[in-house]
Structure 1
Amino acid sequence: MKFTADRLLLFGATGDLSQRMLLPSLCALDADELLDPALRIIGTARSEMSDAQFQDFAREALEKFLPADRRGGMASFLKRLSYQTLDATTLDGFDALAEKVGEPSKGLAIFLSTAPSLFEPTIAGLQHAGLATGNVRIGLEKPLGTDLGSSQEINDAVASAFSEDRIFRIDHYLGKETVQNLLALRFANILFEPLWNAAHIDHVQITVAETVGLEGRVAFYDDAGALRDMVQNHMLQLLALVAMEPPGSFDATAVRDEKVKVLRSLRKVEESQTVTGQYRAGAIGGKAVPGYDEELGKASTTETFVAIKAHVDNWRWKGVPFYLRTGKRLPERVTEIVVQFRCVPHSIFADKGAKMTPNRLVIGIQPKENISLSLMAKVPGLDREGIRLRSVPLDIAMPDAFTGTHRRIAYERLLLDLIEGDQTLFVRRDEVEAQWEWIDAIRALWDAQSLEPKTYTSGSWGPSASIALAERDGVTWHE
C-alpha cells in the first residue's frame, strides 16, 4: 500500500529505544528536510505528560544522544511532537488517542515498541478506536515471540487488523549502511558473483560480539538468551543476505523471496555443531566486571554465548559451512562477515619457496564500517633466495570513501521507509517463521541433551569448545 504518512504514532515513546534511536533519528531526518512538512508525530506511553513536557523530554534525549552537528532545526522538529497518555492494557484510553491523532489527510504510520505481552491488547485498542483501517500501516519492534508458536500468535493478532502489505517487522541490522552495501558488493560488481559459490568459497564466518553484560536487560535476557536475542533475527538475516540468490529487482517482494529460500534451506543442526557458554567474572578494557550469575543474582542456565556450524543445503552452498558466533563480555565490540575463499588449485610459485594464503573478504558492519579484501602480492626484491609472497589487504573505509556524508543511525532509514511505505528492509512473516523453526529445533536439541552452557572468562572469546568447533575443520576464527 503506497502512501506517505502525515501522522506517525509512536508507542513506547518514553522508553529507552525512543530516547536513544527513534527521536534522534526523526530529528536528523527533519534536519535534512526528509520529512514531509505536514508530518505530525504523536507519542504515547503510560507516563503522564503534557505536549510541552514530552517536547522537553525529547529535547533532553536529543541533547544526550544526537551528535551536535546533526541537531540543526531541533526547535522546528520539537514543534511536530505531541503526546497522549495511554494504558494499552485497557480499551478506555484509545478513543482519546484517536482524537489526539486526528484525521490524517494522507495516512497514518504506527511504530509499536512495547513489551510483546502488550501487542494483542494494543492491536485490539487500535481496532476499537478505528486506527487500524484505511491508509494505516504498522511497524513492529522485536522480539516477536519466544518461539514459533508465540510468534504465530503475535502475527495472527496483527494480521487480524492489518494485511501483510501494511505490516513492517523491524530488524534494525537491515537499516545499517554496510549491511545494505553487502547487496551492492554482491550484485553491482561483476567480479564477485561468479565466485560466490561452493566451488570458490571455503567457508563463511559471521561474528556479533559485545563487550557489555546485562546492561539493565536482566528480566528479558535471562528469558531469551543469546540464541533468541541475536541468532534468531540479526545473524540469520545476515546469513540470508550472504547466501541469497540474485533477486530479479531491488524491491520488497523479490529480495524477501530470495531470503526466505535460504532460511528454508538451513540444515537441521546436530549436537556436535553447537557450543553454548555463560560468562564469569573477568576484565573488559582493563576494568574488572562481574559474572553473569553475579549480575543476575542467582544461578541460571541461560546462554550468553553461542557458536553454531550451519549449512545451507542448496546447489550454490552445498558443503560450505557457515560459522556463527555471538556473545556478551567478549574482548571487543564487533560485527563482521568473513568470506574465506579456497586456495588456488595449483601454485606456480611452490618450487620457488613461496607460500600461498587464500583470499579473504572481510565486511565490517560495526563499530567500523569497512570492506577489506586480501590479495597475494610479491614482496619486492631480486628473489635470489626464492620468491616471497605476502597477503596484502585492499581496504575501503566507508566513511573515508564517502566523505561529506553523515553516518546515519540505522533507524533513520527504517523510520523513513515506514513513513513512505517501502518494505524492502523489513522482515516478512514467512521469514520470521522459517527463522523460528530452525531456532526451535536447536533449543529442542539442547533440552533433549540437558545441555548447560560452559563457562568462559569475561574478556575472552568464549568457551574453548567454540575454538574446537572451527578447528576440527581446519578453520580459525577471525579475530
Structure 2
Amino acid sequence: MRSSTLLLFGATGDLSRRMLLPSLYGLFADKLLPEDVRIVGTARSKLSDEEFRENAIEALRERLPKDFYNEITARKFAARLSYIPVDATTPEGYDKLAEAIPIEKGVSIFLSTAPSLFTTVIQNLKRVGLAGETVRLALEKPIGSDLPTSCEINDAVAAAFPEERTFRIDHYLGKETVQNLLALRFANSILEPVWNAGHIDHVQISVSETVGLEGRAGYYDDSGASRDMLQNHMLQMLALVAMEPPADYAPEAVRAEKVKVLKALRPIMPDAVQKDVILGQYDEYAGELGKESDTETFIALKAHVDNWRWGGVPFYLRHGKKLETRKTEIYIQFKCVPHSIFSNVDARMDPNELIISIQPTENIRLKLMTKTPGLDRGGMSLREVPLDVTMEGAFSDYRRRIAYERLMLDLIEGDPTLFVRRDEVEAQWAYIDRLRASWLTAKMTPDPYTSGSWGPKASTDFIKSDGREWND
C-alpha cells in the first residue's frame, strides 16, 4: 500500500535540512512525488506551519544546486508541508499527531531522532494508534551501539512494527553507483565467471574523508570509525561485492544473499588482531574534542569471507577522517596472467583492475593491458590503458540524485529492497563487537597520524607485507 502521509521526526534537524527536504523537493520537481502525499514534520521546536515552510525553503536555497532550485517550485513544494511540535521524550504531543494523521490512507514514518529515543517514540506511536497495518517505520542509523543495544531497539520495534513494515536505512544503498554494482555483476555475462577466488587476487573498499568532527564530537567519540562507518556502509558494500547471485531482484532474495556473506565473515580474534588491524587517530583530534581519547578515527583491516567463492581472497577495508582525499571506492585486482608470452623487458604485465568509484565522482574504470604503438623491433611493448564509464558522461541527460531520493520514494511506495533487514544489522554488529573485543584484549590503541595524510604509516606497511598496496 502506498502511503499518503510521510511523517518526519526530527524535521528541523541537520539531516532533514541537508538531505531529506532537498530529496523530497527533487522528487516533487521531477513529478515523482504522488499528488496526494502530504509531508508532516515534527520536532521539539515551537513552529507554525508557515514558519516550518519558510525554514524548509531556506534549507533548499542553501543545499540545492543553483541551476536546480526554483523559487516557484520550492513554494509549491512547501505548500505540501505542515508541522506539529512534539517533544519526543514525553507522551503529551503524540495524541495530537494521531488526530492529525489519517492512518487508513497509509503512513510512512521516518525516525531520525537520537537512537536513545527510538524505544520511547515507538512505544508512544503504538499507544496512540500510529503503528497499525497501514503504517510503516523507517529508522536512520545508528541502530544501537553494539549487538545487545541493537537487539534491544529491534525488539522494541518488533513489538509495534513487524519486519515487513520496518525499513532500516543505510543511505549508501541509495547511491546510484552502489546499486550499479548489482547491475554490473548480474547483467553482464563477462564478469560473473571471473568473480571468484580463481581470478580475483584481492578486494579493497576505501572510504576516506577530509573532514574532522564537524560538530559531532559527543557522538563520534562514543562510536569511532568502526561503529560510525565500518559497521554499516562498508560491510554493506562488502556484502554486495561478495554475495551470490540471487534468484531474482525481489527484496527478500537480495537481502538473504547479503546476510549469508555477513555471517561468513571470519571473526578477527585476539591472536590475529595486531597483524590484521590498524587503528589510528589524527593529530588534531584531542584538541577538537577538548580531551585525550583512545577513540579511533582511522581503521584498516584485512577481512576474509569463508565460503567457496572467496576462500583465500583478502578484503582490505580502510576508513579514516582527516585523510588526504575524499573518496569512496571499491577496487578489485584480478590475478596476473598465469604465463607471459612477452619476454622482453618492456613487456611489463600489470594485473587487470576494476575500480568502482562512488564519491565524489561516480565512475567505473577497467584497466587492461594493450600494445604500445610502434614497430616493435626490440619486442612488443605493453602499457596499461583504462576504459572509463563515467556516470555523468554516459547519462548526461539524467540528473544526479541524492541517495535519499530513492530511499524516500521506496519508503512511500513500500519497497524494502534497498533497506537493511534485522538479521543483517545484527550480523554486522556481531562482527564489529568481536573485532573491538579483540583489540581491547590485545591492548591496542590508535597510532597518531598527520591530518591530510593517508593515515598511520603502519597501514601502508600492513598491506605491503602481503605484497600489495593501497589504491591511492
Is 2:298 the partner of 1:295? no
Report how far residue 385 of structure 1 moved.
Answer: 1.9
- Number of the residue aligned with 2:250: 251
- Number of the residue aligned with 1:47: 45
Q: For the Cα contact (< 8 Å) 1:309–1:469, is it kept in 2?
A: no
Report how far residue 89 of structure 1 moved.
Answer: 1.0
Cα distance in 1 for residues equivalent to 2:59 and 2:421: 31
- Number of the residue aligned with 2:86: 86
Amino acid at match of 1:4: R
- Number of the residue aligned with 2:353: 360
Cα distance in 2 for residues equivalent to 1:306 and 1:217: 19
For residues 66-85 of structure 1, the aligned pairs below 5 Å read 66-72=64-70, 73-85=73-85
For residues 8-407 of structure 1, the aligned pairs below 5 Å read 8-72=6-70, 73-101=73-101, 103-269=102-268, 270-271=272-273, 272-280=275-283, 291-351=284-344, 353-407=346-400
- Number of the residue aligned with 1:283: none
Report how far residue 418 of structure 1 moved.
Answer: 0.3
Report how far residue 134 of structure 1 moved.
Answer: 2.1
Describe the SS at the equivalent of 1:69.
coil
Deviations 1:151-187 (A, max 9, x none): 0000000100000000000000000000000000000
Cα distance in 2 for residues equivalent to 1:367 and 1:472: 30
Amino acid at match of 1:94: Y
Report how far residue 352 of structure 1 moved.
Answer: 6.8
Cα distance in 2 for residues equivalent to 1:35 and 1:398: 24
Cα distance in 2 for residues equivalent to 1:423 and 1:71: 30
Describe the SS at the equivalent of 2:67.
helix
Cα distance in 2 for residues equivalent to 1:349 and 1:403: 41
Q: For the Cα contact (< 8 Å) 2:210–2:326, is it kept in 1?
A: yes
Amino acid at match of 1:64: E
Cα distance in 2 for residues equivalent to 1:403 and 1:40: 31
Describe the SS at the equivalent of 1:137.
strand
Q: For the Cα contact (< 8 Å) 2:103–2:130, is it kept in 1?
A: no
Describe the SS at the equivalent of 1:364.
strand
Cα distance in 2 for residues equivalent to 1:194 and 1:468: 33
Q: For the Cα contact (< 8 Å) 2:104–2:134, is it kept in 1?
A: no
Q: For the Cα contact (< 8 Å) 2:103–2:135, is it kept in 1?
A: no
Amino acid at match of 1:440: D
Describe the SS at the equivalent of 2:315.
strand
Cα distance in 2 for residues equivalent to 1:359 and 1:106: 53
Cα distance in 2 for residues equivalent to 1:378 and 1:40: 60
Cα distance in 2 for residues equivalent to 1:56 and 1:438: 44
Q: Structure 1: which 5+ residue stretches go unaligned?
A: 281-290
**Distance change (3 Å), C-alpha of 1:218 and 1:353:** closer
Between 1:400-409 and 1:346-355, the stretch displaced more is: 346-355
Report how far residue 70 of structure 1 moved.
Answer: 2.8
Cα distance in 1 for residues equivalent to 2:346 and 2:117: 66
Describe the SS at the equivalent of 2:84.
strand
Is 2:429 the partner of 1:436? yes
Report how far residue 67 of structure 1 moved.
Answer: 1.8
Q: Structure 2: which 5+ residue stretches go unaligned?
A: none
Q: For the Cα contact (< 8 Å) 2:344–2:380, is it kept in 1?
A: no
Aligned-residue sequence identity (percent) comes to: 63
Amino acid at match of 1:89: T
Q: For the Cα contact (< 8 Å) 2:346–2:382, is it kept in 1?
A: no
Describe the SS at the equivalent of 2:387.
strand
Cα distance in 1 for residues equivalent to 2:346 and 2:455: 37
**Number of aligned pairs?**
466
Q: For the Cα contact (< 8 Å) 1:91–1:128, is it kept in 2?
A: no
Cα distance in 2 for residues equivalent to 1:33 and 1:305: 42
Runs of 4 or more off by more than 6 Å in structure 1?
Answer: none
Cα distance in 1 for residues equivalent to 2:292 and 2:91: 40
Cα distance in 2 for residues equivalent to 1:8 and 1:268: 40
- Number of the residue aligned with 2:466: 473
TM-score by length of 1: 0.96
Cα distance in 1 for residues equivalent to 2:366 and 2:49: 52
Q: For the Cα contact (< 8 Å) 1:6–1:105, is it kept in 2?
A: no
Amino acid at match of 2:357: G
Q: For the Cα contact (< 8 Å) 1:352–1:387, is it kept in 2?
A: no
Cα distance in 2 for residues equivalent to 1:117 and 1:104: 26
Describe the SS at the equivalent of 1:68.
coil
TM-score by length of 2: 0.98
Deviations 1:76-122 (A, max 9, x none): 11011000111111111100111222x14520000000001100110
Deviations 1:405-432 (A, max 9, x none): 1000000000000000000000000000
Cα distance in 2 for residues equivalent to 1:247 and 1:197: 16
